[in-house]
Amino acid sequence: MLSVGNKNLFLMFFNIKLYRFVRSFFLHFEAEAKKIAADAEAEANKKIADSLTPELIEKIKYEQWNGELPQVQGSNTPIVNMGE
């Protein structure tokens, strides 16, 4: 029969083992959830990348253009504005 001291030691040992088991269980599922989320994001990014055509990219550029010509072209050589 276990004495009170041995019983407490056994319970402490059991609790440590139980804690480690539960912790590893949750860490495993947390890692699995992160992997599933990353795979879903990668698939979404692939679909977006596959849907981008050169024509669509040009269309988006035209839609976002504010009508102003660039003030700098190439390196740091400014474009001379003759209107001012």
Task: Please give the model's pTM, rounded to 2 decimal places.
Answer: 0.50
Which tens digit of pLDDT belongs to each residue from 63-80? 998 888 877 666 666 566
pLDDT of res. 11: 85
Q: How far is CA 35 from the centre of its chain?
A: 11
pLDDT per position as a tens digit, 5-57: 778 888 888 899 999 999 999 999 999 999 999 999 999 999 999 999 999 99
Cα 23-27-29 angle, rounded to 5 deg: 120
Contact 38/46 with Cβ under 8 angstroms? no
Distance of alpha carbon 84 from alpha carbon 80, whole angstroms? 9
Beta bridge partners of 72: 78
The span from the CA of 40 to the CA of 37, in Å, is 5
